[in-house]
Structure 1
Amino acid sequence: MEEIYHRFGDEVAFFVIYIQEAHPTDGWQVDNNIQDGVLYRQHQTFEERETVANACSLDLHLPLPILIEDMDNAIDEAYGAAPERLYLIGADGKVAYRGGAGPHFFDLGEWEQAIEACVKTASVTVKASDA
């Protein structure tokens, strides 16, 4: 993902949107989280969510900017984002790519191809309108 971000970062706005905990300690915990020390309860306040989002960003060394979902979980509900998912929103504001639920159905190659196609289409449109 980091390579894709660096490759297209000048042409595409990338964001990680931090949503509710998929596997909180007070809910459905998974062995991998226990082994990796990823032990957070479900956020009760926005400040708590923000603290955990920042900790995750630092622990994972994410170069992408992080947006934090409000406590209403509207993004998660609207986009079926949990536990994690890759999206591409086109210049027209419409979903241009919706990946499978991660981590098992992530396809970074497919996502990269969708980004490449959108960037090429945008370049052709700009060049045609400049002429």
Structure 2
Amino acid sequence: MAELYEKHGKDIQFLVVYIKEAHALDSRRPMTGRGAPLVQEPVTWGERQAVAKQCAAAMEIEHLPTIIDEIDDGVGAAYAAWPDRLFLVGKDGKIAYSGGRGPFGFKPEQLSSAIVKELTREVRR
């Protein structure tokens, strides 16, 4: 994601939405190692903010603009985004790219191609 931001960040607005933690230690699929922070699933807004900050630092994306989903996971549910997913909102405000669910559907190279295509597309009014 950091590479995409460096490549396209001057042309489009990037926004990371931190949703429900995918691999919390108290979840069905805890993840340890591979640089992932060892965290419990947040139960308060303050805990979610702290975990989001840890995860962004571990992924080296703390410089990307980020918002945090509410504890009720409304954004994650609305976009079927768990555990992670990539979207591109086009110039016309419609979804121009919707990647598959991660980790197997998480394909930044496809998003990059969609960004280039969207930047060259003319919007009819």
TM-score (norm: length of structure 2): 0.87
Residue 92 of structure 1 aligns to a residue in which SS?
Answer: coil
Identity of aligned residues (%): 35
Q: CA deviation at 1:120?
A: 0.9
Counterparts of 2:29 and 2:40, CA distance in 1: 10
Give the structure 2 partner of residue 40 of structure 1.
39
Give the structure 2 partner of residue 99 of structure 1.
99
Give the structure 2 partner of residue 57 of structure 1.
56
Counterparts of 1:55 and 1:38, CA distance in 2: 7
Q: Which whole-Å deviations, capped at 9, do the CAs of 1:82-120 have from their partners, x for residues lacking one? A: 111111011222111010111212222211111111111
Give the structure 2 partner of residue 78 of structure 1.
78
The structure whose Rg is larger is 1
Q: Which amino acid aligns with 2:71?
A: M
Give the structure 2 partner of residue 109 of structure 1.
109
Query: How large is the RMSD of aligned CA atoms in angstroms?
Result: 1.9
Counterparts of 1:9 and 1:48, CA distance in 2: 29
Once superposed, which parts of structure 1, at least 4 consecutive aligned residues long, lie more than 4 Å away? none
Count of matched residue positions in the alignment of Structure 1 and Structure 2: 123
Counterparts of 2:20 and 2:103, CA distance in 1: 16
Which piece of structure 1 moves more, 65-74 or 33-42? 33-42
**5+ unaligned residues in a row in structure 1: which ranges?**
none
TM-score (norm: length of structure 1): 0.83
